[in-house]
Amino acid sequence: MNVGCVKEIKKLESRVGLTPSAVREYVNAGHRVLIETNAGAMSGFPDADYQKAGAVILEKAEQVWSQADMIVKVKEPLAPEYKFFRDGLILYTYLHLAANEELTKELLKTKVKGVAYETIVTEDGGLPCLKPMSEVAGRLAIIEGAKRLEKPFGGSGILLSGVPGVDRGNVVIVGAGVVGENALKMAVGLEANVIVLDINLKKLTYLDELYGNRITTLYSTADNIEKSLEKADLVVSGVLLPGAMAPKLIKRAYYKTMRPGSVIVDVAIDQGGSTEVSKATYHDDPVFVVDGINHYCVANMPGAVPRTSTIALNNATIRYGLAIANMGIETACKAHKAIKAGVNTYDGKCTCKGVADAFGLPFVELA
């Protein structure tokens, strides 16, 4: 199969669909890999590394799109890329179609076989291609939050670790999923005081056993959130209700008791956010202030650390990508239920129930 990878064109997106190391895996399996020149430059992978791994470098994106049987990307294609869609092309990337009717219709019209990273589901219900990005975002949330607490960044001037003789900072983490657990790991590493809230008691039990008296776990109720926020210097939200908008658990009324310059990192912004005032921001202007509280609401946090994110993403996507390239998509779907779940569009039909329901399209289950 000809496997292609183009440079991402979304604003400030620096990740790339294939690392040189992933290219080597495809080439070793007998595939031809086509890379647009400079596709990996922002992630620290020069063309020479791809050539060494056996890829062919092409000057223009259109050459890659037209010669490839499968395109491996990071973000959903944007309008200028729709012209490259064609019958039978396999598109393997994050698609987020339920929020994008225009792209869904283009993929259906042109009969592209669209495989979405975010709907690849393992038998235990895990989302293997989403997990690494939540790991990155959770860890980054504490780094970004700690930075925004600094006075020159408009923060309250708190060092989360404190120093001998001075109080530690208080971190409140709402949602103890992948984002929450990774934020927790970093906050504990910085020796901050940490409260974690979730409605999943199993997760709270696990964290309680793991960290003992180094953290406080609380069941997530309005009461507990309000009380926890009273003294919070940094709040991280990683709440998720699968397939729904994030609940607005962090009320503006709670800000009254918080110290001005405190920070809320709303990682759940990609599902609408967890505060009443959250709105998506970009890396070039990531923070806005409401009632003296700094809100960091970047919807693609992993894009800030593209090298780590690209490698982490490839670690997760290579297995399924190789299976598709080796077997062809139809056989790969039969061999791996996870891949079948990832197929959102096939031969002009919508094969993902969530997407079909979102736009009133007929849902056709892949055979």
**Residue 133 binding ligand NAD, by CB under 6 A:** yes
CA distance 4 to 69: 8
**Residue 197 binds ligand NAD (CB under 6 A):** yes
Active-site amino acid positions: 96, 270
Output the smallest distance, CB 300 to ligand NAD, in A: 5
Q: How far apart are CA 325 and CA 68, in angstroms?
A: 11
Cβ closest to ligand NAD, residue 265 vs residue 323: 265
**Which range in 23-31, 71-79, 147-155, 293-301 contacts ligand NAD by CB under 6 A?**
293-301
Binding residue for ligand NAD, selected from 172, 196, 270, 306, defined by CB under 6 A: 270
From the list 300, 347, 342, 307, the residue with the least C-alpha distance to 321 is 342
Query: Which is nearer to ligand NAD, 146 or 299 (by Cβ)?
Result: 299
The single residue among 18, 258, 267, 341 that binds ligand NAD, judged by CB under 6 A, is: 267
- In angstroms, what is the minimal distance from the CB of 22 to ligand NAD? 21
C-alpha span between 96 and 268 (Å, rounded) = 15
- As a dihedral over the C-alpha atoms of residue 119, residue 77, residue 357, residue 359, rounded to 10 degrees, the angle is 170
Edge-first strand listing for the sheet containing 215-219: 215-219, 193-198, 170-174, 234-237, 263-266, 293-296, 287-290
- Can you tell me which of 74, 173, 277, 299 binds ligand NAD, judged by CB under 6 A? 299
For residues 170 and 233, the answer to whether their CB atoms sit within 8 Å is yes
247: contact with ligand NAD by CB under 6 A: yes
Tell me whether residue 3 or residue 179 sits nearer to ligand NAD (CB atom): 179
What is the per-residue binding string for ligand NAD in 203-242, x denoting contact by CB under 6 A? x----------------x-----------------xxxx-
The CA–CA distances, whole Å, from 275 to 60, 74, 99, 181 equal 43, 28, 20, 20
Distance separating alpha carbons of residues 159 and 168, to the nearest angstrom = 7
Q: Which residue is nearest to ligand NAD (CB)?
A: 177
Locus of tokens 């129930």: 353
Residue ranges binding ligand NAD (CB under 6 A): 133-134, 137, 174-180, 197-200, 203, 220, 238-241, 246-247, 249, 267-271, 298-302
